[in-house]
Amino acid sequence: MNTDPVVRQSERATDTPNRTETGAGGGLASAAGAAQAPNAAGGAPLELIAASLRRERRRTGLSLTEVARRAGIAKSTLSQLESGTGNPSLETLWAICVALDAPFSRLLDPPRPRVQVIRADEGPTVSAAQADYQATLLAACPPGARRDVYRIAAEPGHARVSEAHMPGVMEHVVLSAGRALIGVAGEPVELGPGDYICYPGDLKHVFEALESRTLAVLVSEHT
């Protein structure tokens, strides 16, 4: 669609980090201070660290044995840490973070789920010049992904005709309200509420509202 507009066990002395170092672990000085912040028992926040270690190891797909080997610690030490027992040292945690390719701070400040809500009358909207047709961007394609999501509001009158996009683009439309002719130019399909259509966006295509207050969600997929 065109829308122009840790227990102190078997640690290696060589793993001791420089407190002014910033590297793959990121922000050691501040993170180290956070690691020493007491919990109710006066030690490191063991439950938080344990959950973070389990989460990061699942992310990498590595086994206990492999992470322990890369970190230069005993497998039993890592197992204890993931179960929330022991008294982890900064050196041991740092070595594990290096093995997991994870910032040290992530053990104490885990990422939070990103939830975004866009109400029906919100969002950046662009209008077509030759049709009563508005497209509101709901989710732009983030790095590594290849899709954009739009909310479409259209009125009867003039059809919205889009020229072919870049090769490989597919468009997916779910009609929410009203009725519309949607699809490849010359052979659009009439859709009603709840209907879905997928068509190649790299061909000329059309969206023509047949009823007032026609609403739809369009996903532009780049392959």
- Predicted confidence (pLDDT) per residue in 51-97, tens digit: 999 999 998 999 999 999 999 999 999 999 999 987 788 788 889 99
pLDDT confidence bin for 7, thresholds 50/70/90 = very low
Q: Is the pLDDT of residue 12 over 50?
A: no
Q: Is the pLDDT of residue 125 over 50?
A: yes
Higher pLDDT residue, 145 or 7?
Answer: 145
Q: Is the pLDDT of residue 14 over 80?
A: no
Instruction: Report the alpha-carbon angle 59-62-64, nearest 5.
Output: 115
Average pLDDT across the chain, whole number: 77
As a three-state string, the secondary structure of the chain is CCCCCCCCCCCCHHHCCCCCCCCCCCCHHHHHHHHCCCCCCCCCCHHHHHHHHHHHHHHHCCCHHHHHHHHCCCHHHHHHHHCCCCCCCHHHHHHHHHHHCCCHHHHCCCCCCCCCCCCCCCCCEEECCCCCEEEEEEECCCCCCCEEEEEEEECCCCCEEECCCCCCCEEEEEEEECCEEEEECCCCEEECCCCEEEEECCCCEEEEECCCCEEEEEEEECC
pLDDT confidence bin for 21, thresholds 50/70/90 = very low
Query: What pLDDT, on the 0 to 100 scale, is given for residue 80?
Result: 92
Which has the minimum average pLDDT: 61-65, 140-144, 218-222? 140-144
Higher pLDDT residue, 34 or 64?
Answer: 64
